[in-house]
Amino acid sequence: MTKILVTGGAGFIGGNFVQYMLKKYSEYEIYNLDMLTYAGDLTKHQEIEQYKNYSFINMDIADRTSIEALFEEEEFDYVVHFAAESHVDRSIDDPAIFIRTNVLGTQVLLDAAKQINVKKFVHVSTDEVYGELEFDSDTFFDENSPIQPNSPYSASKASSDLLVRAYNETYGLPVNITRCSNNYGPYHFPEKLIPLTISRVLNDQEVPVYGNGNNIRDWLHVTDHCSAIDLIMHEAKSGEVFNIGGHNEKSNLEVVRTIIRSLGKSEDLIKFVTDRKGHDKRYAIDPTKLEQLGWKPVYDFESGIAHTVQWFLDNKDWWENILSGEYQSYFKKQYTLK
């Protein structure tokens, strides 16, 4: 059987990817490697835990000895690397863990993958490595846009991208780098704008909007990100970089208003708060290269948000459990809100 190691498969996108792959390919063995930080949880995988071709490995990607021993033992065919510290605000507060996990952790995995000659190492990165675009321009990020990260998070992701590129050039490790726009969907951790807004609006609590709310993000439903990675993993030539995005640019205020409207609540819940330091103005993806490989997203923004809001309504236990834990102290430190 083909063995696929998914790192970060207890988190938001990796978790969706593990479920997507298990449901689509019964002939693959899926190994979910995750060290279960605040952002990882296995309750999302109750349904797939019985699958014979699924296993969980509790491990730190930066633990070189354990990672190298694991790769020697299992001889994975593919590595799809999601594990990371992923929240920009936390990186502004405490960058060090972002360098350890995102840079050193990626290097450890690359060394282990090189040692056993994996067929492909897919490195899941982000459009934030390109920095920001101006508001009133019709420019987009393409795969040749300069790498100009602005936050400690995006700088750590850019550093890992460059290592992946170097391992391909220097050692011939077969790789792809993917750079996706902002995701949303089931199991999105409620520190990020969309799940934060949905959970707070459902509890009739204020929603913090940074600055004037005019910053723009390009949104993609997580299932469409999963299908893109599936295609790239199987079909793309080694060494290629792919941007992933679905032409859904929205200002933060538009996003928050859409959610408030869909839940029948009042816009009085919007609270403008101090802006994020170094807040990137606009992200927008040109996905032409990926479309030419045959990819098409299923969701537009309206249907994707409707699906996501319904999921949060149907899965209150999952996010209420998160809100009641360590999250409380993070939230109090980050915001002063009613």
- The yes-or-no answer on residue 128 being catalytic is yes
Minimum Å gap between C-beta 60 and ligand NAD is 4
CA–CA dist 106, 79 (Å, integer)? 11
Residue 8 binding partner per list ligand TDX, ligand NAD, none, with a CB distance cut-off of 5 to 8 Å that depends on partner kind: ligand NAD
CB 256 within 8 A of CB 212: no
Query: How far apart are the two ends of the chain, measured CA to CA in Å?
Result: 53
In the set 60, 127, 230, 280, the catalytic residue is 127
Residue 210 binding partner per list ligand NAD, ligand TDX, none, with a CB distance cut-off of 5 to 8 Å that depends on partner kind: ligand TDX
Q: How many CA atoms lie within 13 A of 192 on its CB side?
A: 21
217 binds ligand TDX (CB under 6 A): yes
Residue 215 binding partner per list ligand NAD, ligand TDX, none, with a CB distance cut-off of 5 to 8 Å that depends on partner kind: ligand TDX
CB 16 within 8 A of CB 222: yes
106 binds ligand NAD (CB under 6 A): no
- DSSP of 293-304: TT---S--HHHH
Which pairing describes strands 175-180 and 78-81: parallel, antiparallel, or unpaired?
A: unpaired
124 binds ligand NAD (CB under 6 A): yes
Tokens of 286: 């040109």
221 binds ligand NAD (CB under 6 A): no
CA–CA dist 204, 110 (Å, integer)? 46
Residue 189 binding partner per list ligand TDX, ligand NAD, none, with a CB distance cut-off of 5 to 8 Å that depends on partner kind: ligand NAD
- How many residues are present in the chain? 338
213: left (phi over 0), alpha (psi -120 to 50) or beta: left
82 binds ligand NAD (CB under 6 A): yes
- The yes-or-no answer on residue 204 being catalytic is no
Residue 247 binding partner per list ligand NAD, ligand TDX, none, with a CB distance cut-off of 5 to 8 Å that depends on partner kind: none
Per-residue interface string for the shown chain with ligand TDX, residues 78-117, x marking contact by CB under 6 A? --------xxx-----------------------------
Q: Which residues, at least 6 apart from 124, have a Cβ–Cβ distance to it below 8 Å? A: 13, 14, 80, 81, 82, 178, 180, 229
Q: Enumerate residues 185-204 that contact ligand NAD by CB under 6 A.
A: 189
Minimum Å gap between C-beta 2 and ligand TDX is 28
In the set 128, 132, 218, 230, the catalytic residue is 128
- The yes-or-no answer on residue 38 being catalytic is no
Among 6, 21, 30, 61, binds ligand NAD (CB under 6 A): 61
Q: Which residues are catalytic?
A: 127-128, 153
